[in-house]
Structure formats: C-alpha cells, structure tokens
Chains A and B, each alone.
Chain A
Amino acid sequence: MSDNLYIITVLLAMALVTFALRALPFLAAQWLGKHPWVARLGRFLPLAIMTLLLLHAVHGAAGEHAAGPWPELAAVAVVVLLQLKSRNPLLSILAGTGLYVLIRNFALI
C-alpha cells in the first residue's frame, strides 16, 4: 500500500461516487418537482431513517461484546426518557454515553 498514485486515484473515484449519490436527488429535483410521492416521503422518511440509524448503531455496538444487547438497551432507554422529559440533547447524550461507558468498562463485560 505504498503506491501514492494508486491510493489517490482510488480516493478520487470514491469521492466522485459518494458525491454523485448525495447530489442525485437535488439534480433530479426539477423532474420530481412537486410530486406527491416526494412530499409523502419527506414526512415519513426522517423518523424512519433515524430509527434505522439508531438500530444499526445499537446493533453494531452490541456486536463488540458477548454479553447480549442489554448495556445498549439500558443506555438508549436512559437517553430516550431523559430527552422526552428534559428536551436537553446534550444532557441526554452525556448521561446515556456515560452510563454506557461505565457499564462497558467497569461492570460485568
């Protein structure tokens, strides 16, 4: 992996593909226009995708140890409850992450 030119070529190709994917809906916007599907998805997708990203992150974290997903579930429960009550994102995230780090480093895992 010492060939810098090869690496740079790969990086540029990856950058191009990634940017094209992110830009596609904006370039297609004039064709999509005010299509009702787009409005429907705009309302439905953010919550669905957020839930999926959460599930995926929790699934990934639970895969790093052999104790089952209970540390992740406990930490997410703390975050969700705190956020519902306090509406303070930083507090919720710090408390949940703090609990998770404590469990992972000093508890049974």
Chain B
Amino acid sequence: MIRPEQPEASRLSILALTAPVAMGYVPLGSVFGFLFVQAGAEWWLAVLASLCVYAGAAQFMMIPMLAAGLPVGAIALATLIVNLRHVFYGLSLLERMPRQRLLRWYLIFALTDETYSLLTSLPKTVSHRQMAGIALLNQGWWLLGTLLGALIGASAKVPLVGLDFALAALFAVLTVEQWRARRDAFPIWVALLAYGIAQWLAPPHALLIAIVLSILVGLWRKPESAKLSGEAKP
C-alpha cells in the first residue's frame, strides 16, 4: 500500500493511509468530545482524555461512570476489561517495533485497534519513522475530533449518518490485504465461528471473548511446513 522509495511520495501515502482512519476518528472523536462536555465536564478534560487515555471504547464507557461518580478503582477495572484485547496486539508486532526508545514507547502507547490494523498490514520496507508517523497522525485525527466535538459539538449538526462506517470499510480492506499476504482463509473461518459463539455467550464482551477463542485455536493449530519454509524473516 505504501511506496517508500521517494520521501515526498511516502509522506503523501502516509497521509492517504491514515485518511480512512481520519474519516472514522474525526466524527467518532467529536461525538466523544460532545458527550463528555454534555455530561458536565470541561472541554480541556475531553482533550486530556484523548491525549493520555486514547482508547475509543473505554473513553465512551467512562462518560456515564464519571457522571455517576463511580470509584476510581471500579473505572480502572472496567477499562482493564474493555481494553484487555490490546494485550494480544503486541504479539504480532514484537519483531517490527523500532529499538529507538521514544518511537518504540510512543508506538506501544498508541496501539489502538485501527493503528494496529494499519501497522500489521504494512510491507516490511516501511521505516520505523513512518510507522510512528502513522500512529501520530491517527492520534492527531482523534484529538482533532475530540476538540471539535467538545468546542462546537453543541451547535453543530451532523447532516449524514453512517460516515463512521469508513472504519468498518478500513477493516474490510485490511482483511482482504491480510488474506492476500498468505492466501490462507482458515483464520477468517475461525474468526466468524468465534464471533458467533461469543455473541451467543455474552454480547457485551463479544469482541474480547472471540479474540481469546481465536488465540486458542491459533495456538493449537500447527502451521503447514510448506508455508513456513516460504517465509522470510524480517
């Protein structure tokens, strides 16, 4: 998706690569900022949340909890449950992360669903600086949305519903590209089955349960040796 031969072209394509994330993050971030301010908090606290927490679902979840004045420990525990899936994201990025400390720790901090999706789909030629650039741009979109929503959300009306479907479309594109990289549809079938089971078991935690089920299958399944030998180590 990225052609990093020329610095000019690569900067452009990093922007293009994060464009679908922007289409999801700016509207979603502004909804968060709007709701947060509506619940009675000051606008800069919404920006602070997107700056230091930076986890979409958990940020939405905390609004009613903050409004209800729940203890800090309870909200921290809820955050742990909602964000538990992020524990598994690093597993597939261990070898691709930069050694350089600042870049490394920022990338780890900024490992949201969308950034993880983009980073795991990049070709091996993409530099560490470009990886960090993508992560930084994504958080920039989220902050921009939060700020817009918190400042002018009350007066602005979104004329169209469904614009945040760009995030689902992004996941669809990345699913296609991940499949193209290995031509192995098995993980797709496992994911479909796992999600069905998880929705049946406990809809509020469907995503986390489905990820855990998929990991169990992934650990149990031995990779075919033919595919192993054809693979180059980074």
Interfacial residues, chain A to chain B (CB-CB below 8 A): 1-2, 4, 6-19, 21-26, 29, 32, 37-38, 40-59, 61, 64, 72, 75-76, 79-80, 83-84, 89-90, 92-93, 96-97, 100-101, 103-105
Contacts and interface: CB of A to CB of B under 8 A. Distances in A.
B66 interface: yes
B64 to A, nearest CB: 10
Contacts of B182: 43, 47
B88 A52 contact: no
Contact of B120 (A38, A46, A72, A83): A46
A46 B34 CA distance: 33
B152 interface: no
Contacts of B73: 13
* 3 residue pairs, one from A and one from B, having the closest CB atoms: A25-B90, A51-B191, A44-B218
Contact of B178 (A50, A57, A96): A50
Interface residues of B, number: 95
B160 A101 contact: yes
A47 B225 CA distance: 19
A7 B48 CA distance: 10
A93 B20 contact: yes
26 contacts: A1-B66, A7-B45, A10-B75, A13-B75, A15-B53, A17-B79, A18-B79, A18-B86, A21-B80, A25-B89, A26-B104, A32-B94, A44-B214, A44-B217, A47-B188, A49-B211, A52-B214, A53-B113, A55-B191, A83-B176, A89-B16, A89-B173, A93-B169, A101-B160, A103-B162, A104-B162
Given A18-B55, A19-B108, A105-B160, A53 B91 contact: no
Contacts, number: 266
A44 B169 contact: no
A38 B109 contact: no
Interface of B: 1, 16-17, 19-20, 23, 39-42, 45, 48-49, 52-55, 58, 62, 66-67, 69, 72-73, 75-76, 79-80, 83-92, 94-95, 97, 104-105, 108-109, 111, 113, 116-117, 120-121, 160-163, 165-179, 182, 184, 186-188, 190-192, 194-195, 199, 206-207, 210-211, 214-215, 217-219, 221-223, 227, 231
